[in-house]
C-alpha cells in the first residue's frame, strides 16, 4: 500500500462523523429509490404472475339477460382466445350474531369444473360439489373479518327468497385484489363479500336458466381490445349490454394501477433531491479539506505524485463516503421495500408476493451515489491537482475583503461584536451560505410535502362525507323502481328523510375520444347528496345538458358550451347529443351530472330511482336493518358512517407511516447539512474563537458565534423551504392524479410551521453537538496553528 493510500484511510477515519452524516443523506436517496422501484417491481411482478396463473380476463361486459347460445358467436370474434359466461347478482346477507346487514355479490361457478377465466384461488376448504344448491365459497377477507370458517352458515335474501347458505371454502380472486362494494370509497370486508355458488343455484336464484348476464374474454397475443369491445357491444346490444371495457376500467385493477402510479411518481420526485444535497455536502467538505491540506498536497507533488494521482486521491475519499451511503441505502431500501410490499399485498388481497428487485436497480442506485459524490468532489479535486508544489507549500493568500455599505450599516446600528462577526461571515462567503441554506430548505420541503397530504385528505373527507354526501345511508335497488317507492322508504323504521337519485351507465363520445361513465341524476335542491365545487359551493346541473367534472371534460377535450354524444346503456338505451352546460372541479371520480326532471323527460318516463338517500334515527337503526333484510328488490344498504370510518382508518395508517419516513428523512438532511457546516466553520474559525476566549469572552459568547451562524442560515432557509415544499407538493398532486381521485393542493400555515420547527430543532441539536468541541479546544495549540 502506497503512502497516499494510507493517507486516504487515515483521512477517512479522522472524518468519519462528517462522512457518516453525508452518507446518511445519500443513503436516503438510495433507499427511497430502491423502496419505490422495489415496491413497484414487486407489485407489478406479483400482479402479472397472479393474473397469469389465475387467468384474469382482458375484456369484461355485462348485460341484462343474454342466451347462452350467444357464446358461440362471442368466441368467434377475431382476437378472442377464450370466453366465459357467468351469472352475477347481489343479495342482502343476514349474518348470525350481526344486527347490521351485509351485502354479497354472488358469482356463478361452472357445474362440475373450474372457471376458464378469473379462477378463484382456494385458501381453505373446497369448492361447492356438483349439483349443490346451498354451498358457497366466500372471499377470504370477508371470512376473516366475520370469523367464518368452512361449515359456518348464514342466510341471504335472493330476490325475495330467504336461503340458508353454507360456507364450504374461502378463496381469493384476481378480480378482487381491491374489493370495494357499490357506492363505497374504501374496502369494507366486514360488510361486503364475494360469494361463489354453482351455476345451477345462481340461475335458479336470479332467473337465469339458459342465460348469463356477465361475460369475460381473454385476448390472443397481440390482439387489440378496441375492435373486440366494439364487436362484443354489437352482439350484446339486443340483450341490454352495459358496454364492454378492458382491464383499465375494471374497478379492482384501476385502483391498483393508481397506486402503482404513485410509486412511480415517488421514485421520480424524491431521490434526485437527496443526491443533489449529497453532492453539495461533499463539495463543501472536500473544498475545506483541500484548503487545510495545501502543504500536504505540495509535499506529495514534491516527492513525485502526479496531478492525476492527487485528483484521484480526493475523488476516492469522496468515493468512500459514497460506498458507505450506498451500502446503507441498499440495506435500508431492501428492508423497506420488502416490508412495504407485504403491507401492500395485504391491503390489496394478494395471496403471495414475488419480491425481486432487479440487479440493475441496485447498480443504478449505486452508480447514482458514486456519480453524485464524484460530481460534488470534482471541482475541489481538480483544484488540488492544479496546485504547483511551490505554491501549495505556502499559506493561501488571505481573502480580499473590503468595507461595504453593509459593514457601515452594521456599525451604525451598533450591533454586538459577536453578531457582527456572524453577519460578516455569511456575507463574505455568500455562495457557501446560500448553498447551506438551500440544503436546509430541502429538508423543510420534505416535511411540507408529507404533511400537506394530511390536510388534502382531510379536505377530501370533509367534502365527500360531510358536505357532498350528507346522508346517513344509501338504499341500493337491483333495478329502477318508481319514485313513489320513496313513500314506502319513508315508512321504514328510523328513516327521517328520503331523496331519490338515478344512475345510468353511458358512453360519452367527442369525436374519437370516448369514456364509459355513470351519469348521475338528482332533483334540484337535493339536500342529502349534492354536487359541490372545490370551494364547497353547491352546483346544480342546468336542464338541457350535462355538468361534467374537470378531469372528465379534459379527457374528452370538452369545454362549457360544447356538445357531447351520450349513448345511454340503461334506461331507454338511446343516444342523444347533449350540450355541456358546465364544468366543475371535483376530487373523487369522474362525474357527469344531469337534471333529474330533464332526464326523465328525455326518456319519456315517469320519475324513477335506483338509489334512495336517507337520514336515520340512530336509536332505530337495528330495527331498520331487520326490516330491510326482507325487502326483495333491495341489494344493499351503504352506511356512510361506516364508509367514512373505513376510509379514515386506512388513510390514518398509511399517513402515519409516510409522515414518519419523511420526518426522519428531513432530520437526516438537516443533521447532514448543519453538522458539516458547523464542523467546517469551527475548523476555519478555531483561531478566531480561541482568540476571543483569550481576550475574555465567555464560553456562551463564543458558542453564540458558532451556533448563531448555523441558526441564522437555518432561518434564512425557511422561506426557500416553503417555496420548494409547495413546488414538491404540487408535483405530487399531479403525479398522484388518476381517474379515481385527485389530490387537492392544500397548504395551511401549520404545515409550514411544522416543517420549520422540525428543521430548526434538528439544526440546533447538530450545532450544539459541534459546540461541545469548543470546550475541548487547546487554546495554546490552536494559536500556534499556521493560518
700-730 burial, b for 16+ CB within 10 Å, e for fewer? Answer: eebbbbbbbbbbbbbebbbebbbebbbebbe
Structure confidence at residue 411 (pLDDT) = 65
Inform me whether the pLDDT recorded for 780 exceeds 60: no
741-779 pLDDT, tens digit per residue, is: 777 788 889 889 988 998 898 888 888 887 777 666 655
Give the total residue count for the chain.
787
Q: Quick check: 394 pLDDT over 70?
A: no
pLDDT at 13 over 90: no
Report the number of secondary-structure helices (H) and strands (E) in the chain: 23, 20
Confirm if 688 and 420 have CB atoms less than 8 A apart: no
Does 336 have pLDDT greater than 60? yes
- Whether the CB-CB separation of 611 and 501 falls below 8 Å is answered with yes
Q: What is the pLDDT of residue 61?
A: 93
Distance between CA atoms of residues 606 and 595, nearest Å: 14
Alpha carbons 139 and 158: distance in angstroms, whole number = 19
Supply the pLDDT for residue 78.
93
Residue in 190, 208, 188 with CA at minimum distance from that of residue 198: 208
Q: What angle do CA 309, 315, 318 make, to 5 degrees?
A: 150
Burial class of residue 446 (count of CB atoms within 10 Å of its CB; 0-12, 13-18, 19+): buried
User: Above 80 in pLDDT, residue 564?
Assistant: yes
Determine the 3-state secondary structure of 80 from DSSP. Answer: strand
pLDDT bracket for residue 356 (50, 70, 90): confident
652 or 608: whose pLDDT is higher?
A: 608
Rounded to an integer, the average pLDDT of 560-579 is 87
pLDDT (mean) for 21-28: 80
Q: Is the pLDDT of residue 537 over 90?
A: no
Closest to 321 (Cα-Cα) out of 676, 32, 714: 676
Residue 730 Cα distances to 187, 307, 548, 648, 656, angstroms = 28, 47, 24, 23, 21
The runs of H, that is alpha helices, within 293-416 are 294-302, 307-347, 359-386, 389-392, 405-412
The rounded mean pLDDT for the chain is 82
What does the pLDDT average to over 662-682? 75
For position 127, what pLDDT does the model report?
A: 92
Q: How far apart are CA 464 and CA 393, in angstroms?
A: 72
DSSP label at residue 181: -
- In this predicted model, which residue has the larger pLDDT, 177 or 738? 177
Return d(Cα 367, Cα 749) in angstroms, integer.
39
Three-state secondary structure readout of 565-605: EEEECCCCCCEEEEEEEEEECCCECCCEEEEHHHHHHHCCC
- Taking the C-alpha atoms of residue 131 and residue 200, their distance in angstroms, rounded to an integer, is 7
User: In sequence order, what are the residues at sequence separation of 6 or more whose Cβ sits closer than 8 angstroms to the Cβ of residue 762?
Assistant: 443, 666, 667, 670, 671, 674
> Region 276-280: what's the mean pLDDT?
74
Cβ proximity of 229 and 77 under 8 Å: no
Q: What pLDDT, on the 0 to 100 scale, is given for residue 278?
A: 73
Residue 80 has what pLDDT? Answer: 93
Residue with more model confidence, 297 or 362: 362
- Do the bridges between strand 153-158 and strand 161-172 make them parallel or antiparallel, or are there none, so unpaired? antiparallel
From the CA atom positions of the chain, what is the Rg in Å?
A: 34
The residue behind cell 333484510 is 629
Q: Output helix, strand, coil percentages for the chain, rounded to the nearest 5.
A: 55, 20, 25
Question: What is the per-residue pLDDT across 395-436, written as a single tens digit (0 to 9) for each?
Answer: 666 666 566 666 666 667 667 777 777 777 777 777 777 878
* Three cell numbers written together for 76: 368467434
Q: What is the pLDDT of residue 86?
A: 94
Task: Tell me if 71 sits within 8 A of 85, measured CB to CB.
Answer: yes
Confidence of residue 92 (pLDDT cuts 50, 70, 90): confident
Reported confidence tier of residue 787, pLDDT bands at 50, 70, 90: very low
> 323-337, 487-501, 675-689, 708-722: which has the minimum mean pLDDT?
675-689
CB 502, CB 602: distance < 8 Å: no
Q: Which of 170-179, 274-283, 519-528, 555-564 has the lowest mean pLDDT?
A: 274-283
pLDDT in tens, 160-207: 778 889 999 999 999 999 888 776 667 788 888 999 999 999 998 888
Tens-digit pLDDT profile for residues 431-482: 777 878 887 888 888 888 878 877 887 887 777 777 888 888 888 887 788 8
Query: What is the model's pLDDT at position 658?
Result: 67
- Neighbouring CB atoms inside 10 A of 765's CB total 14
Nearest Cα neighbor of 774 from 700, 718, 716, 709 is 700
Query: Taking the CB of residue 424, how many other CB atoms lie within 10 A of it?
Result: 15
* Domain regions of the chain by residue span: 1-58+259-395, 88-207, 407-472+640-787, 495-616
- On the 0-12 / 13-18 / 19+ scale of CB atoms within 10 A, 422 is buried
Is pLDDT at 302 greater than 70 in this prediction? Answer: yes
Is this model's pTM higher than 0.85 or not?
Answer: no
Spatial distance between the Cα atoms of 181 and 104, rounded to a whole number of angstroms: 9
Confidence of residue 70 (pLDDT cuts 50, 70, 90): very high
Half-sphere exposure for 742 (CA within 13 Å, toward CB): 18
Band (pLDDT 50/70/90 cuts) for residue 212 is: very high
Give me the residues paired with residue 750 across strands. none
DSSP string, 698-766: -HHHHHHHHHHHHHHHHHHHHHHHHHHHHHHHHHHHHHH--SSB-------HHHHHHHHHHHHHHHHHH
DSSP track, 605-637:
---EEEEEEEEE-GGGHHHHHHHHTT-TTEEEE
Q: Which helix (H) or strand (E) holds 135?
A: strand 135-139
Query: Is the CA virtual torsion 7, 9, 13, 19 positive or negative?
Result: positive
Rounded CA gap, 663 and 575, in Å? Answer: 54
CA distances from 334 to 328, 337, 589 (A): 10, 5, 34
CB under 8 Å to 413, separation ≥6 — which residues?
Answer: none
Average pLDDT over residues 291-311: 77
Whole-angstrom CA distances from 124 to 138, 169, 170 are: 10, 5, 5
Decide: 320 and 7 in contact? Cβ < 8 Å. Answer: no
Q: If we measure between CA atoms, which residue out of 297, 160, 166 comes closest to residue 632?
A: 160
Match 397475443 to its residue by C-alpha cell.
221
CA distances from 437 to 430, 564, 754 (A): 10, 53, 18
**Beta bridge mates, 579:** 545, 563
Amino acid at each position: 500500500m502506497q503512502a497516499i493510500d494510507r493517507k486516504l484511510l487515515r483521512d477517512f477515519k479522522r472524518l468519519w462523523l462528517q462522512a457518516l452524516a453525508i452518507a446518511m443523506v445519500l443513503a436516503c436517496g438510495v433507499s427511497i429509490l430502491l423502496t419505490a422501484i422495489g415496491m413497484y417491481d414487486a407489485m407489478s411482478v406479483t400482479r402479472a404472475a397472479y393474473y397469469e396463473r389465475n387467468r384474469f380476463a382482458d375484456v369484461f361486459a355485462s348485460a341484462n339477460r343474454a342466451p347462452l347460445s350467444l357464446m358461440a358467436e362471442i368466441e368467434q370474434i377475431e382476437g378472442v382466445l377464450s370466453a366465459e359466461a357467468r351469472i352475477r347478482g347481489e343479495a342482502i346477507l343476514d349474518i348470525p350474531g350481526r344486527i347490521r346487514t351485509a351485502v354479497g355479490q354472488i358469482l356463478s361457478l361452472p357445474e362440475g369444473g373450474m372457471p376458464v377465466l378469473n379462477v378463484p384461488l382456494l385458501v381453505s376448504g373446497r369448492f361447492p360439489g356438483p349439483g349443490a344448491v346451498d354451498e358457497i365459497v366466500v372471499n377470504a377477507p370477508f371470512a376473516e373479518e366475520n370469523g367464518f370458517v368452512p361449515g359456518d352458515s348464514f342466510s341471504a335474501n335472493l330476490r325475495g327468497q330467504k336461503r340458508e347458505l353454507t360456507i364450504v371454502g374461502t378463496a381469493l380472486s384476481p378480480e378482487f385484489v381491491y374489493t370495494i362494494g357499490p357506492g363505497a370509497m374504501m374496502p369494507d370486508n366486514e360488510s361486503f363479500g364475494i360469494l361463489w355458488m354453482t351455476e345451477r343455484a345462481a340461475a335458479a336464484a336470479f332467473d337465469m336458466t339458459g342465460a348469463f348476464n356477465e361475460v369475460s374474454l381473454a385476448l390472443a397475443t397481440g390482439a387489440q381490445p378496441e375492435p373486440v369491445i366494439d364487436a362484443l357491444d354489437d352482439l350484446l346490444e339486443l340483450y341490454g349490454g352495459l358496454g364492454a371495457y378492458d382491464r383499465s376500467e375494471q374497478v379492482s385493477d384501476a385502483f391498483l394501477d393508481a397506486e402503482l402510479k404513485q410509486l412511480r411518481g415517488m421514485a421520480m420526485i424524491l431521490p434526485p433531491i437527496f443526491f443533489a444535497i449529497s453532492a453539495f455536502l461533499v463539495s463543501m467538505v472536500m473544498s475545506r479539506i483541500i484548503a487545510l491540506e495545501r502543504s500536504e498536497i505540495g509535499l506529495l507533488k514534491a516527492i513525485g505524485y502526479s496531478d492525476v494521482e492527487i485528483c484521484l486521491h480526493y475523488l476516492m475519499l469522496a468515493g468512500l463516503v459514497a460506498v458507505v451511503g450506498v451500502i446503507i441505502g441498499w440495506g435500508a431500501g431492501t428492508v423497506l421495500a420488502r416490508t412495504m410490499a407485504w403491507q401492500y399485498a395485504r391491503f390489496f388481497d394478494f395471496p403471495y408476493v414475488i419480491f425481486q428487485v432487479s440487479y440493475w436497480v441496485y447498480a443504478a442506485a449505486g452508480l447514482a451515489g458514486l456519480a453524485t459524490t464524484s460530481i460534488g468532489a470534482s471541482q475541489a479535486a481538480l483544484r488540488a491537482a492544479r496546485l504547483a508544489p511551490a505554491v501549495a507549500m505556502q499559506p493561501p493568500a488571505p481573502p480580499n475583503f473590503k468595507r461595504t455599505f453593509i459593514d457601515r450599516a452594521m456599525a451604525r446600528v451598533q450591533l454586538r461584536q459577536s453578531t457582527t462577526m456572524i453577519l460578516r461571515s455569511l456575507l463574505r462567503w455568500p455562495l457557501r451560505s446560500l448553498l447551506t441554506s438551500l440544503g436546509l430548505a430541502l429538508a423543510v420541503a420534505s416535511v411540507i410535502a408529507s404533511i400537506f397530504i394530511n390536510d388534502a385528505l382531510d379536505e377530501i373527507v370533509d367534502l365527500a362525507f360531510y358536505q357532498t354526501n350528507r346522508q346517513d345511508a344509501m338504499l341500493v335497488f337491483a333495478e329502477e323502481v318508481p319514485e313513489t317507492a320513496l313513500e314506502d322508504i319513508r315508512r321504514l323504521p328510523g328513516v327521517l328523510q328520503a331523496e331519490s337519485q338515478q344512475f345510468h351507465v353511458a358512453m360519452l363520445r367527442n369525436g374519437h375520444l370516448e369514456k364509459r361513465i355513470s351519469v348521475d341524476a338528482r332533483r334540484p335542491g337535493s339536500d342529502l347528496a349534492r354536487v359541490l365545487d372545490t370551494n364547497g359551493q353547491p352546483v346544480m346541473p342546468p336542464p338541457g345538458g350535462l355538468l361534467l367534472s374537470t378531469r372528465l371534460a379534459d379527457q374528452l377535450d370538452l369545454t362549457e358550451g360544447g356538445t357531447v354524444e351520450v349513448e345511454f346503456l340503461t334506461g331507454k338505451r338511446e343516444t342523444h347529443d347533449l350540450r355541456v352546460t358546465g364544468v366543475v372541479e371535483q376530487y373523487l371520480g369522474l362525474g357527469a351530472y344531469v337534471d333529474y326532471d330533464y332526464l326523465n323527460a328525455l326518456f319519456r318516463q315517469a320519475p324513477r330511482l335506483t338509489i334512495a338517500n336517507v337520514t336515520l334515527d340512530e336509536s332505530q337503526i337495528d330495527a331498520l336493518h331487520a326490516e330491510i333484510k326482507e325487502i326483495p328488490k333491495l341489494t344493499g344498504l351503504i352506511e356512510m358512517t361506516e364508509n367514512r370510518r373505513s376510509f379514515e382508518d386506512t388513510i390514518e395508517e398509511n399517513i402515519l407511516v409516510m409522515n414518519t419516513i419523511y420526518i426522519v428523512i428531513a432530520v437526516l438532511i438537516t443533521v447532514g447539512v448543519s453538522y458539516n457546516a458547523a464542523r467546517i466553520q469551527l475548523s476555519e474559525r478555531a483561531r478566531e474563537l480561541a482568540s476571543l476566549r483569550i481576550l475574555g469572552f465567555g464560553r456562551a459568547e463564543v458558542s453564540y458565534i458558532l451556533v448563531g451562524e448555523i441558526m441564522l442560515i437555518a432561518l434564512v432557509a425557511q422561506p426557500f423551504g416553503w417555496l420548494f415544499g409547495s413546488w414538491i407538493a404540487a408535483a405530487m398532486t399531479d403525479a398522484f392524479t388518476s381517474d379515481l381521485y385527485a389530490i387537492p393542493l392544500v397548504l395551511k400555515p401549520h404545515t409550514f410551521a411544522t416543517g420549520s420547527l422540525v428543521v430548526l430543532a434538528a439544526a440546533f441539536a447538530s450545532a450544539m453537538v459541534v459546540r461541545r468541541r469548543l470546550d475541548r479546544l487547546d487554546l495554546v495549540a490552536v494559536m500556534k496553528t499556521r493560518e
